Structure 1
Amino acid sequence: MNISKNDVLELRRRLKKTECTFGRMCGCYVNSGKQVVLKFGQQFSELEDDEFYKYLEIAKKTLSGTLGSNLLELSFARDEQAKERQQYLLALKSSKLTNDALLDRLYEQVIEQYAYPGNYLILVYHDVYDVMTRTKDNAELDESSEVYEYMLCAVCPVELAKPALGYREEENRIGARERDWVVGLPDLGLVYPAFSGRGSDVNAVMYYVKTGRPSHPEFVEKVLGCTPQQTAAEQKLTFQHVIQDAFGEEEEKAENAFFHIQKTISGMVAEQEEEEDRPPFALTAEVVSDVISEVDMPAPVREQIEKSYAQSFGDMPPAAHNVLDSRLVAEGTQRVHTAELEQKVLDLKQRLAERQEDAEESAGGEARIVLRLPEEKADCVRTELVGGQRCLLIPLESGEAALINGVSRVL
């Protein structure tokens, strides 16, 4: 990965009222039947303040997330179709969004490939950023080292506002509020060319996916001409299915194996995180093979896991922390600890019961009172007749206490 966290933050910090340099912004509103309802375009600086900040918030969200998790660096596929897509994106960017034919082509491709059942809004921004030269101590010099020209695209769901009561001013009463169509934050978005090493990378696209949403591989492949990648959430789910499917209907064994695999990966990630400068390590097929070799499972299951893992991830193995379910490891470890404690209690009860049986047998089957005393007290115990009743006497010093049936008593 060439895009760094600092690259993303540098672009994101500029999206403020005083620093934003967006030029033109265009949009296309699409209904649930994939029909175009509205197209528009205007200079970003001419927006009313309320609209300015809302559109800026959408653009900023497209630059949020975690690199390698839901913020992906995509590379163009190595074929003629991908090359043609790349040339098209460069042309659209260079047009500064003034070419309606190029914009319409983008809208048509998104509508064709974006799988969404409701209404949505396609937004496209154009920007030119004078990247200032920086000294070794990270101070900016008053001169530009590069002009970074790019476009940002965001696809936002549009949904009806929730039903609510409100003040109806014309009637001076509280009544049902009219439900409006509200533009939400982006479901997916992209920046092209990517901003990498404080410069333009025409061979990469920075691709944003909302957390928990699918990565839309058909969109990546057909619209962008890039090789699809899974988000961290998708990688985690795929990895879980690889383990579960290998065990078939033996769900309990699958869960137990998955927990032990996750626990091993957790230890590997923790060890790696101790070294701050060490990059995240990839969970290659070889690493997975080593991990599952330590887990008790039949040989055919192990072979199936290795085969399915290689087929699922191929030459793009996930980072280990992407498939790690920390919550599962924590909960599973707690269950194991609780089970161990419960077993210790059962063992202790068993030993006490055995001692009781032994004591009764040694007394010829007669019920006996069992005492546990310090050695120095045991020699002082005696029996005497008290009121005609044979009693067991234990002398107590001043302030000493006795625990009787679990209750402490000072006698």
Structure 2
Amino acid sequence: MNKKEISEVKKLFTPSHCAITRICGCYVDAEKNQRMKMKEAFLSLPEEEMFKYFNIFRKSLSGSIGKNIMIMEFPLEQEMEEGTQEFLLKIRDSELKDDVLLQEFYQRVMETYIYAENYYIILIHGAYDVPGRASDNLDMEDASDYIYNFILCSICPVKLSKPGLMYNSETNHMENRIQDWLVEVPDNGFLFPAFNDRNTDIHSLLYYAKNPEILQTDFVDQFLGCQTPLSAKTQKETFQSLIEETLDNTCSFETVMNIHENLNELIEERKEEPEPVTLNKQEVKKLFADSGVENAKLEEFDTHYEALADEKTSFVASNLANVRSYEIKTPDVVIKVTPDKAQLVETRMIDGVPYIMIQATDLVEINGITVRTPKSDDSDTTTI
């Protein structure tokens, strides 16, 4: 799924385009007890509740693809009989009307979802009459191609509101506020099946994580039956290790800067594309070669790649590069520079000592105080 397809599904969680047929929920306490279960036709809910649920569902499809949102494919074994895909298809095809299936769903979530406090499992079924699309890319509402049937699960923390004082308009007094158990925005969720190429793709799903570093490995591996992808932070750390080990003693300032400059150029060139920029093994190798990595070092690239990742691992470019600034760090000094001004920083060897040099302009400030920069004809040298 790309950004446009995710946005199209998110529009279904609005009053004017609502495609939700049924909503179910299970409130689980910190001791893993099912405290409350509900099952309703969604449109029978009070309007105020519907709007709050809409917000939760849209949050379950928010964030950056490759960071908060991951497209996961089912391994072949999970598409066999008794696999996780079959179970999710049964849930979807039941339209959430089978109480036995729903209870099994809640139980499987509780067994694999690691959370020490209260949480609320929300499950919805939707049926989207997908409109055809004209050559000018406009929807034709009266030319539907087919129905996209899906389920969306959102898992939300439930926390006690903070104590405090409140104004009671009826008594015109300040008084103690009653603490309530509040349903917060989802920590995790998934959409099944995926909506790829504006069509049903039962071979994959979309997974959401509010915190991209907490991916709920047991839930992904056991409940969904998918392989947990590398988190955004792990992708970045793996890429950094790959650079260091491939370049080894030739890991120079210029080569590393070239790698990041070329990476940022690639992101900039493809920023209008709905799909995120991803790099597989061969594309990472080409990036290194284009950035000046020696052929002798590239001969060892495949070995380092397989040791740090695996053959099928790909990297989301936005997880590897910072398009806003480069950070150059020594034990005592940190330099930050925007990518388009990277040429202002260079390395030099002076009297046998390596230096990182910054080109000074007429406008230099120290703690907000404008200082005069030395001119080429100044006889003295200022050291900071």
TM-score where L is the length of structure 1? 0.71
The superposition leaves residues 105-126 of structure 1 with CA deviations (integer Å, 9 ceiling, x where unpaired) of 1111111111222211100001
Q: Does the aligned pair in 2 maintain the 1:64–1:71 contact within 8 Å?
A: yes
Question: Percent sequence identity over matched residues?
Answer: 30
In 2, Cα distance between equivalents of 1:264 and 1:130? 46
Q: State the shift of 1:21 in Å.
A: 2.4
Query: Which of 307, 310, 335 does residue 304 from structure 2 map onto?
Result: 307
In 1, Cα distance between equivalents of 2:193 and 2:99? 20
Instruction: Tell me what 1:186 maps to.
Output: 186
Q: State the shift of 1:317 in Å.
A: 1.6
In 2, Cα distance between equivalents of 1:327 and 1:259? 19
Amino acid at match of 2:228: P
In 2, Cα distance between equivalents of 1:99 and 1:39? 13
The superposition leaves residues 291-338 of structure 1 with CA deviations (integer Å, 9 ceiling, x where unpaired) of 399579xx8xx9799636643354122122321134551564539749
Structure 1 counterpart SS, 2:379: helix
Query: Which of 322, 325, 337 does residue 325 from structure 1 map onto?
Result: 322
Q: Does the aligned pair in 2 maintain the 1:285–1:309 contact within 8 Å?
A: no
Alignment map for 1:222-301 (pairs within 5 Å): 222-240=222-240, 261=256, 264-271=259-266, 273-274=268-269, 280-284=277-281, 287=284, 291=288
Alignment map for 1:111-130 (pairs within 5 Å): 111-130=110-129
Q: State the shift of 1:145 in Å.
A: 0.9
CA 1:327–1:133 in 2, change beyond 3 Å: closer, same or farther? closer
TM-score where L is the length of structure 2? 0.75
Q: Does the aligned pair in 1 maintain the 2:22–2:125 contact within 8 Å?
A: yes
Instruction: Tell me what 1:78 maps to.
Output: 76
CA 1:121–1:142 in 2, change beyond 3 Å: closer, same or farther? same
Amino acid at match of 1:121: Y
- Give the number of aligned pairs: 342
Instruction: Tell me what 1:47 maps to.
Output: 45
In 2, Cα distance between equivalents of 1:170 and 1:328? 54
User: Larger C-alpha radius of gyration, 1 or 2?
Assistant: 1
In 2, Cα distance between equivalents of 1:82 and 1:214? 29
Which one is further off, 269-278 or 17-26?
269-278
Amino acid at match of 2:178: E
Amino acid at match of 1:186: P
In 2, Cα distance between equivalents of 1:142 and 1:92? 30
1:38 aligns with 2:55: no
Instruction: Tell me what 1:99 maps to.
Output: 98
Amino acid at match of 1:270: E
The superposition leaves residues 1-49 of structure 1 with CA deviations (integer Å, 9 ceiling, x where unpaired) of xx23221111112221122021110001111222211111111111111
In 2, Cα distance between equivalents of 1:129 and 1:56? 16
Q: CA RMSD in A?
A: 3.8
Q: Does the aligned pair in 1 maintain the 2:267–2:318 contact within 8 Å?
A: no
In 2, Cα distance between equivalents of 1:258 and 1:187? 40
Which of the two has greater strand per residue?
2
Query: Which of 23, 26, 29 does residue 27 from structure 2 map onto?
Result: 29
In 2, Cα distance between equivalents of 1:238 and 1:36? 40
1:154 aligns with 2:188: no
Instruction: Tell me what 1:400 maps to.
Output: none
Q: State the shift of 1:241 in Å.
A: 6.2
Amino acid at match of 2:69: L
Structure 2 counterpart SS, 1:125: strand
In 1, Cα distance between equivalents of 2:99 and 2:293? 59
The superposition leaves residues 129-166 of structure 1 with CA deviations (integer Å, 9 ceiling, x where unpaired) of 11122221224051321011111111111112223321
Q: Structure 2: which 5+ runs fail to align?
A: 329-334, 347-355, 362-372
Which one is further off, 223-232 or 147-156?
223-232
Q: Structure 1: which 5+ runs fail to align?
A: 248-252, 355-411
In 1, Cα distance between equivalents of 2:196 and 2:274? 20
Amino acid at match of 2:56: I
Which of the two has greater helix per residue?
1
The superposition leaves residues 72-101 of structure 1 with CA deviations (integer Å, 9 ceiling, x where unpaired) of 111101215765211111111011101111
Instruction: Tell me what 1:352 maps to.
Output: 379
In 1, Cα distance between equivalents of 2:221 and 2:278? 27
Structure 2 counterpart SS, 1:185: coil
Instruction: Tell me what 2:368 maps to.
Output: none
CA 1:291–1:39 in 2, change beyond 3 Å: closer, same or farther? same
Q: Does the aligned pair in 2 maintain the 1:24–1:125 contact within 8 Å?
A: yes
In 2, Cα distance between equivalents of 1:85 and 1:33? 26
Instruction: Tell me what 1:175 maps to.
Output: 175
CA 1:29–1:342 in 2, change beyond 3 Å: closer, same or farther? same
